[in-house]
Amino acid sequence: MSCSRRNFLTGAGAVIFTTGVATTSVLTSRDSNASDVADPAKNYGMLHDENACIGCTACTEACREVNKVPEGVSRLEINRSGPIGEYPDVEYHFTRNSCQHCENPPCVYVCPTGAAYKDEETGIVDVHKEKCVGCGYCLAACPYQVRFFHPEDNSADKCNFCRDTNLAEGKQPACVESCPTSALVFGDLNDPQSDINKAIEINLVYRDKSHLGTKPKLFKVPFKKGEV
């Protein structure tokens, strides 16, 4: 990609295809995001900078430990594609997949019991475990395939931005805290001064499968090495 950042932003909505990943993504900007939000008290989102990510998986391990996620399932995946370039100048591309905390969450719309819900105070999509009957509708409806059944209680589970663990203690999510390269930024999209809004302002960002209308809140800074 040879366009400047300014050209990217004025051309927001252009479709790009990520290297080695079968997902379609849409470039966006802070301004286009601002019109997406439903205006809850807070509206949490996250950003993953694919240029800063080294694929160490410290984030996945911290998530597992803090949220007591059993082996065999995961709330967060770091996927590797590549190699890109020729030896010895070879690099890999790392992408994050986890709940996108969609503004328009299909998982919530299909749930027959209200177990899947979006918290209007935080914008976090979460699960009322006691209401989940294990029907699996939400797992099928999620376009990002990030939901799973917890092997211990058989209820639907996924990332909830550490809402009942680190966030409840006034800390950053475990994945953000543990990242050695500051590739992850978390914060309130309703606050113009938040770190995540500043990061979105100064970077080109895209979101996975925006064309579906889910309005995901996991923003990604695209890997530059793979640009053409």
Q: Whole-number minimum distance, CB 208 to ligand SF4, in Å?
A: 9
Yes or no: say if 150 and 71 are a contact pair by the CB < 8 Å rule: no
| Shortest distance, position 159 Cβ to ligand SF4, whole Å | 3
Q: Which is nearer to ligand SF4, 32 or 57 (CB)?
A: 57
Interacting residues toward ligand SF4 by CB under 6 A: 53-59, 63, 67, 75-76, 78, 94, 98-102, 105-107, 125, 142, 144, 146-147, 158-162, 173-175, 178-179, 181, 183-184, 214
CA gap 123, 121 in Å, rounded: 6
For residues 8 and 186, which CB has a smaller minimum distance to ligand SF4 in the complex?
A: 186
CA angle 210, 186, 196 (to 5 degrees): 70
| CA–CA gap between residue 30 and residue 1 (Å, rounded) | 20
Closer CB to ligand SF4, 56 or 84, in the complex = 56
Q: For residues 5 and 207, give the distance between their C-alpha atoms in angstroms, rounded to a whole number.
A: 16
d(CA 169, CA 151): 26
Residue closer to ligand SF4 (CB basis): 54 or 202? 54
- CB 168 to ligand SF4: min, Å: 11
> Pairing relation of β-strands 91-98 and 76-84?
antiparallel
Q: How far is the CB of 4 from ligand SF4 (least distance, A)?
A: 26
